[in-house]
């Protein structure tokens, strides 16, 4: 059987979770959680497109677009732990910005259009707010996607033993990983705003690492200044390994829908 494409998945998801919702209610917030390279951004775009074909207003928003500014993260690196220079882990997002954006979307109007945050990964900082897209009417659907969306904190005892060389050598006392884990408590308020959570379930962490390397390869071949070699990429991924493995073990059991992916990212409904 041929694997469904993103458009087919989007239509199935909308039919299952959103189609029966009254249009007059506040926006339906659909969470799409998936580890790096799982295709969550592609699926989010397909959901917005499919909603448009049904005549629904829809907006995609990523956790990646709600990072703290570069300056704010540099301050965290000085005051809390140097590893917080690298964006991505819980504690490096602006949850207040994300929450107020979700609130405002329900009341969007031509008189009060809502700016939707956007982050420039090439410059490791937010785009100027004047460049953010705006929404001028309440959408029926908001798609919120992110790599750690819906993840709960680990048990404290699980943090005792380093999971990789980064934790062993650069977080020997566990201060960074315990701080990151504690931040997830604050993310629970965002998770509670999800009307449904769909998980793109990767086969394993090793496959996720391979997917991320495949994404980096074209940058290396073009000699892009920001391209990472194998060693740099391995260190980068080590920041996310602990919570990624935790998500792979636990997240599908709390999700409203799970899409299992094979090693080539082919989904099954």
Q: What does the DSSP assignment read for 32-90?
A: EEE-TTSSHHHHHHHHHHHHHHTT--EEEEEGGGGBPPHHHHHHHHHHT-GGGGSTTST
- pLDDT of the residue at 205: 95
Pairing of strands 28-34, 134-135: unpaired
pLDDT in tens, 153-202: 999 999 999 999 999 999 999 999 999 999 999 999 999 999 999 999 99
Q: Residue 197's beta-bridge partner residues?
A: 31
Hey, which CATH number is domain 6-261, 3.40.50.300, 1.10.10.10, 3.40.50.720, 3.40.190.10? 3.40.50.300
% of the chain with per-residue pLDDT over 70: 97
Q: Residue 105 contacts by C-beta under 8 Å, 6 or more apart in sequence?
A: 27, 59, 114, 135, 138, 139, 142
Using the predicted structure, report yes or no on whether residue 1 has a pLDDT greater than 50.
no
- pLDDT of the residue at 140: 93
The torsion defined by the Cα of 37, 260, 246 and 144, in degrees rounded to 10, comes to: 60
Q: Note the pTM of the prediction, 2 decimals.
A: 0.93
Token digits of residue 92: 């490096």
- pLDDT of the residue at 93: 97
Q: Domain limits of the chain?
A: 6-261
Any idea which of 11-20, 33-42, 55-64, 193-202 has the lowest mean pLDDT? Answer: 11-20
- pLDDT of the residue at 186: 95
Any idea which of 50-54, 117-121, 228-232 has the lowest mean pLDDT? Answer: 228-232
């Amino acid at each position: 059987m041929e694997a469904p494409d993103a458009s087919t998945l989007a239509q199935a998801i909308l039919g299952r979770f959103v189609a029966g919702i009254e249009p007059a209610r506040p926006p339906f917030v659909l969470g799409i959680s998936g580890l790096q390279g799982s295709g969550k951004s592609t699926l989010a775009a397909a959901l917005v497109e499919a909603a448009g074909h049904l005549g629904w207003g829809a907006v995609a928003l990523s956790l990646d677009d709600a990072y703290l500014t570069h300056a704010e993260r540099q301050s965290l690196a000085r005051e809390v732990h140097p590893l917080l220079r690298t964006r991505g882990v819980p504690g490096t997002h602006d949850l207040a910005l994300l929450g107020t954006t979700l609130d405002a979307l329900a009341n969007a109007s031509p008189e009060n259009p809502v700016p939707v945050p956007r982050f420039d990964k090439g410059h490791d900082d937010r785009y100027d707010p004047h460049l953010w897209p705006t929404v001028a009417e309440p959408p029926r659907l908001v798609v919120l996607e992110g790599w750690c969306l819906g993840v709960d904190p680990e048990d404290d005892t699980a943090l005792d033993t380093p999971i990789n060389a980064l934790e062993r050598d650069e977080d020997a006392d566990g201060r960074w990983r315990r701080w990151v884990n504690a931040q997830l408590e604050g993310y629970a308020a965002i998770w509670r705003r999800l009307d449904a959570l769909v998980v793109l379930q990767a086969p394993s962490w090793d496959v996720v690492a391979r997917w991320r390397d495949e994404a980096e390869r074209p940058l290396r071949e073009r000699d892009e200044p920001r391209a990472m070699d194998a060693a740099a990429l391995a260190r980068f991924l080590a920041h996310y390994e602990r919570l990624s493995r935790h998500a792979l073990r636990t997240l599908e059991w709390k999700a409203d829908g799970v899409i299992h992916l094979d090693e080539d990212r082919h989904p099954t409904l």
